[in-house]
Amino acid sequence: MSGNIRLLDDTLAAAKAEGRSALIAYLPAGFPTVDGGIAAVKAVFDGGADVVEVGLPHSDPVLDGPVIQTADDIALRGGLKIRDVLRTVREAYAATGKPVLVMTYWNPIDRYGVERFTAELAEAGGAGCILPDLPVQESALWREHAAKHGLATVFVVAPSSKDERLATITAAGSGFVYAASLMGVTGTRESVGEQAQELVRRTKATTGLPVCVGLGVSNARHAAQVAGFADGVIVGSAFVRRMLDAEDEAAGLAAVRALAGELADGVRGKA
């Protein structure tokens, strides 16, 4: 079975045709439980997300801030396995028909086996993978198998990336480019500044791929700001925080559904 890179491409193109940015949500698998995590992904789609990134929790994350680290710890202590991540993708895609990616560090895939992981992610209906710590120059094996199975390979660029490096990264990627709006780890910020806009401008000069911005977006005002210059707005910690702060799972699902609705209004200029 082929993966859903085309669905991802079509979804991002449809948002552009509507004159808006796509809303991309991030939630870790297995949080607060495997079933609860699946329900949360469905809830953010119900609220208005166009795409969801399902995080594969890692014991030593380098990009994730304290909010996502807390959720990852809960998932790992609950015994989360890669098969649970793939189940999350499968059930979310089956229920919604919308693109679901996995965001993961490289080590778990390397241990699981690249061929096995790409084949199983495609079989689950996945659209691709975001690989924040896989160097492009070491990515040939992954990209070969991802392409064979119809999966996008999304690389991360940062404000520190030189123009030549941006061109190398974007030439190797597919689906979209993940532009980290600032240096540092994930988490909500008071504002998402000019650094992000300049990074998007520089990245777009190297590629025709959509450029989507993450790290720091937490409310409709941020979403509207970023939507003014990016093809997609990526929100993670704000969703996880809503789940962590909720008194129970039902309240958490209602909270992330509501936040998705607010952010969806933001990317449409209705905030």
* 171-217 residue pLDDT tens: 999 999 999 876 444 444 445 567 889 999 999 999 999 999 987 78
pTM over 0.85: yes
138 is catalytic: no
Contacts for 173 with CB less than 8 Å, ≥ 6 apart:
152, 153, 154, 155, 207, 209
The whole-number pLDDT of residue 61 equals 59
pLDDT tens digits, 237-247: 999 999 999 99
The whole-number pLDDT of residue 184 equals 41
Token pair for residue 70?
Answer: 């807390």
Token pair for residue 182?
Answer: 């600032």
CA distances from residue 185 to 67, 132, 158, 203 in whole angstroms, order as listed: 10, 12, 11, 20
The whole-number pLDDT of residue 60 equals 66
Question: What is the domain-level CATH number for residue 27?
Answer: 3.20.20.70
> End-to-end CA distance of the chain, in Å?
40
**Cα–Cα dist 194/237, whole Å:** 21
- The residue assigned the tokens 């979310």 is 92
The whole-number pLDDT of residue 270 equals 76
Catalytic residue of the set 9, 18, 46, 53: 53
**Cα–Cα dist 207/95, whole Å:** 33
The whole-number pLDDT of residue 62 equals 59
Phi, psi (degrees; rounded to nearest 5) at 99: -70, 130
pLDDT tens digits, 2-18: 889 999 999 999 999 99
**Cα–Cα dist 271/185, whole Å:** 27
Q: What is the mean pLDDT of the chain?
A: 91
The whole-number pLDDT of residue 192 equals 55
| Total residues belonging to the chain | 271
**Cα–Cα dist 152/146, whole Å:** 7
pLDDT exceeds cutoff 70 at 252: yes
The whole-number pLDDT of residue 188 equals 44
Catalytic residue of the set 64, 84, 91, 231: 64
Domain that holds residue 216: 4-268
The whole-number pLDDT of residue 34 equals 96
pLDDT tens digits, 66-92: 888 888 787 878 889 999 999 999 999
Are the C-beta atoms of 51 and 235 separated by less than 8 Å?
Answer: no
Contacts for 210 with CB less than 8 Å, ≥ 6 apart:
12, 16, 22, 176, 177, 231, 232
**Cα–Cα dist 68/73, whole Å:** 9
Query: Cα torsion for 115, 86, 79, 217, to the nearest 10°?
Result: 110
The whole-number pLDDT of residue 2 equals 85
Other CB atoms within 10 A of residue 57 CB: 27
> What mean pLDDT comes out for the span 143-153?
97
Q: How many domains does the chain have?
A: 1
Share of the chain above pLDDT 90, in %: 77
Burial class (CB in 10 A: 0-12, 13-18, 19+), 63: middle
53 is catalytic: yes
- The one-character DSSP state at 58 is -
Share of the chain above pLDDT 70, in %: 93
Residue in 131, 132, 28 with CA at minimum distance from that of residue 75: 28
